[in-house]
Every structure is written in structure tokens, then in C-alpha cells.
Amino acid sequence: MDRSSFNRSAYLYLLPALAIYGIFVLFPILQTIYYSLTDWNGLTAPTFLGLQNYLNLFQDAVFINALLNNLAFIFFYSVLAIVLGMFFAVLLTSAPLRGMTFYRAGLFFPQVMASVVIGMVWRWIYHPQYGALNQVLRAVGLGAWARPWLGDFDWALTAVGIVGTWAQYGFCMVLFLAGIQNISSALYDAARIDGAGMFQQFWYITLPGLRNQLLVALISTLIAAIRIFDLVFVTTRGGPGYATLVAGMYLYRNAFVINRVGYAAAIAVLLTILILIISYFILRLQRTQEEESFA
């Protein structure tokens, strides 16, 4: 690149975006890392602790429990949502259907709604007295099953998790739909001629053809499960007890309720590292696969 062709005005175009991003996002990230190494209550000067906050976190039973709850949410957000999304995507493309775009739009809809609204909608469904769920159970003679779902120690996590699945699977479905439509129909025709059944077609053609979409669905649902906060805040605030307490909720409590700011910063750093590692590995998986397919 010879120097005369450099376009110095480029910096001018980048400057406003870079300044806002730098001041309000990038620099605070560095501060988070610094605070995570200190004991700070948000008022007096922070005292340097080294890695003590991190060591404490791994011995903090509440935090470990919160991480395990995040793990449970991974089952609802990623595993269940991807399986259901795949089921509907295959169903939608199994035959030329009228109204396909209509169904797609309807099933995708929860994904665009604010999680606060979704939380409110489901609080209402789970309401002990007026909620639709308990009313249906009573109506079909399963009244013994009726319970205050979100206040029940054994069921609260599952109840919130199902909301997560409900909100995520439409998104997975839309990703897979786009992928399936890109798979050449000649592949299926050839497989049918060779006598492959529905399941074999799915296993040998659809699934491998959707690898990229599966990876994207995996990244975004995993990140959503690790970050989950809004939904828990609105439905249970982490309760009853610590039954639905997740890492994001624990971070919020430490940072803004009980003012253990340094400790909260350490949680933030751990969550961020976790998210970056997951993104990195899955993106790398995607890349190796692309290289293979070009080879």
C-alpha cells in the first residue's frame, strides 16, 4: 500500500463512534478489570486485593449455586430450544405449505418482545389463583398439581426455564429454516431415489447442512443463558431463597444493593471471559468447517 493512497479523512469518520464507544464502553471495561482486583464499597477509596475476590468467588456457595442455575438455564435456552426449533423447521419445510411465512412470523414473535414484557406475561400465567396454568390444571382434574409455580422451591427454576425455551425456540427455528432452504433439493431427490427414509434424510443431509446455523444458534442461546437477568428479575428476583438466583442477578445485588463493588466486578469479569471463550471456540469451529468445505 503506497502512502499517497491513504485516506486520512477516514479517521475523521471513525472519530465520533470511536469516542463514544471508547468513553462509555471500552474504558469502563478496563475499569471493571481493575475494580475486580480491589475491595471497594463505591464510596471510599478502593483497596487493592490482588486475586482475592476471584478466590473468594470460588468458595462462595451462593455464587457456585448461581452458576449451577445458569447451567440449568443452558438446558432450557440452548438444548430444548434448539431441539424444538429444529423440529418446527423440519416440519415447515417437509412439504410445500401454504402460509409458511405466517407460521414463521408467529413462532418468531416472542423473540422480538422485551424480556420484561415476557416476564410479566408469564407471571400472569403462573399466578397461583388467577393464572391460566393452574386454572387449566383444575379444569382437567389435575388440581392437585396446581401450585404457586414461581414461589415453589422445586418448580420455580423449571417454570422460568420453560419461559426461556418458549422465547428462544422461534429464533432457532428461523435460523434453521433459512439454512434448510439453502440445501440443494437435488440432494434430497438423490437420497430418496437411493431409498433413504425421512430420518436418514434428516441425519445425513439436513443436519450436516445446518452446521453453521447450529453453531450460531448455540452461541447466541448459550450467551443468553449465561447472561440471563431481565427475566429472572421480573419473575422471581432470584427467589424463592436462592432457587433461581443466577450469576447476573448476584452481580446486580453485589454491585448495586449491598455495595460490594469489587466483588461484583470480579463476577462481571468471569462472565465476560466465559462468553468470550464460548464465542471464540464456536467461531473457530465454524472457521475450520468452512476451510474443510473449501478444501
Partner 1 sequence: MGFANPAVNARRILGSIPTYLILTIGLLLAVIPFLLIFITALKSPAELGNAFALPQQFHWENFQRAWTQARFGTYFKSSLIVTLSVVGISCLLSLLTGYAFGQLRFPLKNSIFLLFLIGLMVPTEAYIIPLYYSLRAVHLTDTYWALILPQIGMSVCFGSFWMRGFFSGIPRDLVDASRVDGCNDWQTFWHVMIPMVLPGLWTMAVLFFIWTWNDFLLALVMITREGLRTLPLGLAMFQGRYTTDYTLTAAGATIVALPTLLFYVLFQRQFIRGVTAGAIKG
- Give the three cell numbers for residue 183: 440445501
- Structural contact between residues 46 and 38, judged by C-beta atoms closer than 8 angstroms: yes
User: Does 232 contact partner 1 by CB under 8 A?
Assistant: no
Binders of partner 1 in range 145-184 (CB under 8 A)? 166, 170-171, 174-175, 178
CA dist., res. 125 & res. 111, Å (int)? 18
Q: From CA 149, how far away is CA 152, in angstroms rounded? A: 5
Q: Quote the least distance from Cβ 237 to partner 1, whole Å.
A: 9
Of the residues 78, 80, 131, 206, which one makes contact with partner 1 according to CB under 8 A: 131
Site for partner 1, residues 22 to 51, rule: CB under 8 A: 22-26, 28-29, 31-32, 35, 42
Among 216, 243, 245, 246, binds partner 1 (CB under 8 A): 216
Q: How many angstroms separate the CA atoms of 135 and 106, rounded?
A: 25
Q: Report the first-to-last Cα separation within the chain, whole angstroms.
A: 30
Kindly write out the interface string for residues 248-267 of this chain, putting x where it contacts partner 1 by CB under 8 A and - elsewhere. Answer: x--xx--xx----x--xx-x
127 secondary structure, DSSP code = -
User: Helix, strand or coil for residue 74?
Assistant: helix
Of 80, 210, 234, 246, the residue at the interface with partner 1 (CB under 8 A) is: 234
* Contact code string over 87-116 relative to partner 1, x by CB under 8 A: -x--xx-xx-x-----xxxxxxxxxxxxxx
For partner 1, give the closer residue by CB, 97 or 295.
Answer: 97
Q: Exactly one of 82, 210, 225, 269 binds partner 1 (CB under 8 A); which one?
A: 269
How many residues comprise the chain?
A: 295
Pairing state of beta strands 47-48 and 38-39? antiparallel
How far apart are the C-alpha atoms of 130 and 118, rounded to whole Å?
17
Q: Does 228 bind partner 1 (CB under 8 A)?
A: no
20 near partner 1 (CB under 8 A): yes
143 binds partner 1 (CB under 8 A): no
